[in-house]
Every structure is written in C-alpha cells, then in structure tokens.
Amino acid sequence: MAGGGSARGKRSRVTLRDVAELAGTSRSTASRALSGTGYVAEHIKERVQAAADSLGYVPDVSARTLKGRSSGVIGLLVSDLRNQFYAELAAGVEHTLSSEGYQVVLVDDHGSAERAVDAARAFLAMRADGVLIAPVGRGATELLVEHGMPVTEVDRRSGVRGCDVVTIDSRAGARAAVDHLLALGHRAIGVVVDETFWDTGRDRLKGYRAALRAAGVTAGRRHVLDLGHTARPAQEEVGRFLDSEPTLTAVFAANNVVAELVWLELKRRGVSVPDQYSLVSFDDLPWMRMVDPGVTAVRQPVFAMGERAAGLLLERVRRGGGGRSVSDVLEPELAVRDSTSAPRG
C-alpha cells in the first residue's frame, strides 16, 4: 500500500539520503531513479522505488524549488469567495490547474487593494510559478510583473501591461440586457451598480448608455444608482432610488450582488414583477431560475473563464513568462425568463 507502515509520525522526516542508504545507492542515483530523469538501471530503479515506498518518502518541494526548479504552485487572488461568482471562477481555475499537476494557493482579498499587494508579495516569496488575479487595483499586478512573475488577470483588467487578461464582454452583455428591455417597450430604465472603479462596472454602464442612445432614448443621469459611494445600507438605498424615480418601469442590475439587493427590495415592497417592474441581472446565479418569476439574466461563462485564464497562464509559464500579452474577451448571453415583460400602463 501507499506509504507502507513503517513511517512513524513526527520523528525527523525521511529524506532522500535515507532512501539511498536503504537502497544501497548514492543520493544522486536515488534522485534520478525517483524523478525519472537521466540514466539508471532498471533493477536499481525498482530497488530505490521500493525503499522510498517502504519508508514513506515524500520529496521536499522546498528543496526542489530552492534548487531552481518549479515550485508547482500557482497563486489565485479573488475578491470574495462567498460570492458564487468567485467560487465558480476558483473552481474553473482549480479544475485545469490541478489536472496539470499544479497546486493552487488561494487568497481572498475581500476587495482590499492592500491585502492584494500582501498576497502578491506572498506569492513572490513562495516562488509561485504564476499568478491569477481578479485585480482590485494596479498595485498587485504591478509588483508581480515587475518581478517577472507570469500573471493573468481574470474578470477585470487593471491596465498594467505585461500580463494576459481574460474578461467577459461587459459592454455587450449590458447592451443585450438593455436592448431586451427596450424591445419590450421600456423607456424609463434604471441601472444599479455597486462600483464604477473597474471596467466591469464602467463597461456595464457604458453598455446601458449605448443601448439607450441607439434607441434614441435620453439616458437620465438620475436613472443611474451607484451604490459604491453610499454609506447607508445598500438595500435601503435601492428603496430610496425607486421612490425618487417613480417613472421607472425596469431595472438593470449590474451584477449578482446588486440583483439580489434589488430583488429583495422589490419583494419587500410587494410590488409585482414583471408587471410593476421588469428586472434584468448581469450574471446568472442558480437562485435566479428558482425564484418566481425567474430572473432574466446575462449569463457569463464563469467556470470557462477560470479554465481559460488558467490555460493562458500555463502557456505563459511554459514559455518563461515572456511573449505577447493575449487579451481574451468571452461573450455572455442573455437568458430570458419571466422577470421581464412589456411595461405597465
């Protein structure tokens, strides 16, 4: 069986030296036998293997890494693991990375640029082979790229040069969402975002505006609610927004967090969806097809984005970190459900 029984806990680790001694070879031969690199007689190889198994030998990656070889570690930096979006992103990343034999070091920066930089430093210190990051600032990516660390950004782009980027076309997705509302006859369409620092929030706003413009509808500045700056509880703020803009017949929520907020406020008020308000979310979560009415949503290929980003990073790692920076934009698609219909009146 794996490990045999003779490895007794605790006592100083068994090292290659022990394996070599037991097998009656030198350490280098043992090393070659186990790593499969270089020449080594078949019967010796077997003997070493047996010795390693019986001692429960586990190679020390620190030593291997120190020696200059790969650490086999990839850093992953996300903003909030409890948000299903990031959990799924992480799952996608983990999926391709672990299938390639890499370990994932996961850090949740909770949206803090400072913590992101700390994490970046930790990845550097661990001699990670590369880093995947959903940036919350330029700092972390800058630090990493400066140090020659292969980096691929996911979901958002910091604007730092020298790394790959995989995003979802926020603008097109928002455009599709709002076009859908316009086609149904809506003209007074509100949009709720929780930040406009990143391209995600900004581009969704742009897509919203572009759709209105293309339809010849003037986009009232007051139809935009940015939760990013408000201190008040967010749901309450949504309520004020709805009160202050009574002509609205539809709301576009810029991400799943905002969509939940809007949805809860609508439910709290007991207003009918889609009769009173139509609702569209950017980002599709399981609950959106479970509630009644189902929420029309822009579906993002999140898991695939994670896989793609990981794949790109690995390519970069393999060519030594250099080369052209590729920028991949994945297309979202609109899933029409029952939260959208022609406007009231």
Two tokens, residue 214: 């293309």
Two tokens, residue 81: 């693991």
Identify what 107 binds: DNA, a second copy, none; CB under 5 to 8 Å per kind. a second copy
What single DSSP character describes residue 312?
H
> How far is Cα 153 from Cα 116, in angstroms, rounded to an integer?
13
**Cβ neighbourhood burial of 331 (10 Å; 0-12, 13-18, 19+):** exposed
Nearest to 325 by CA among 160, 80, 193: 160
Nearest to 110 by CA among 133, 141, 80: 80
Which strand ranges, in their side-by-side order, compose the sheet holding 250-253?
224-226, 189-193, 250-253, 278-282, 296-299, 333-335
* Residue 85 · residue 283 · CB < 8 Å: yes
**Minimum CB separation from a second copy for residue 315, in Å?**
17
Kindly tell me which of 191 and 302 has the beta carbon lying closer to a second copy. 302
Identify what 294 binds: DNA, a second copy, none; CB under 5 to 8 Å per kind. none
Report the site for DNA in 59-98 (rule: CB under 7 A): 59-60, 63-64, 66-69
Only segment of 20-28, 79-87, 109-117, 174-182 that touches DNA (CB under 7 A): 20-28
Report the interhelical angle of 42-55 vs 27-35 (nearest 10°).
Answer: 90
Single-letter code of the amino acid located at 132: L
Kindly tell me which of 33 and 160 has the beta carbon lying closer to a second copy. 160
Size of the site for a second copy (CB under 8 A): 61
Q: Based on the shown chain and the rule CB under 8 A, indicate whether residue 91 belongs to the binding site for a second copy.
A: yes
The count of C-alpha atoms lying within 13 angstroms of the C-alpha of 136, restricted to the half-sphere facing its C-beta, is 19
Kindly tell me which of 116 and 224 has the beta carbon lying closer to a second copy. 116
Kindly tell me which of 63 and 342 has the beta carbon lying closer to DNA. 63
Nearest to 166 by CA among 289, 303, 56: 303
Tell which one of 15, 49, 54, 65 touches a second copy (CB under 8 A): 65
Nearest to 104 by CA among 139, 134, 71, 81: 71
**Minimum CB separation from a second copy for residue 86, in Å?**
8
Identify what 22 binds: DNA, a second copy, none; CB under 5 to 8 Å per kind. none
Q: Based on the shown chain and the rule CB under 8 A, indicate whether residue 251 belongs to the binding site for a second copy.
A: no
> How far is Cα 283 from Cα 250, in angstroms, rounded to an integer?
17
Kindly tell me which of 196 and 255 has the beta carbon lying closer to a second copy. 255
Tell which one of 19, 90, 234, 242 touches a second copy (CB under 8 A): 90
Question: Helices (H) and strands (E) in the chain — how many of each?
Answer: 12, 12
Kindly tell me which of 301 and 321 has the beta carbon lying closer to a second copy. 321
Tell which one of 2, 37, 101, 229 touches DNA (CB under 7 A): 37
Largest CA distance in the chain: 89
Only segment of 15-23, 212-220, 315-323, 337-345 that touches DNA (CB under 7 A): 15-23
> How far is Cα 168 from Cα 170, in angstroms, rounded to an integer?
6
> How far is Cα 92 from Cα 74, in angstroms, rounded to an integer?
14
x/- mask, a second copy, residues 2-21, rule CB under 8 A, reads: xx---xxxxx-x--------
Report the site for a second copy in 98-157 (rule: CB under 8 A): 98, 103-108, 115, 117, 121-122, 124-127, 139, 143, 145-148
Q: Based on the shown chain and the rule CB under 7 A, indicate whether residue 3 belongs to the binding site for DNA.
A: no
**Minimum CB separation from DNA for residue 117, in Å?**
19
Report the site for a second copy in 267-286 (rule: CB under 8 A): 267, 286
* Residue 52 · residue 10 · CB < 8 Å: no
Contact residues: DNA, CB under 7 A: 12-13, 15-17, 25-29, 31-32, 34-35, 37-41, 44, 57, 59-60, 63-64, 66-69
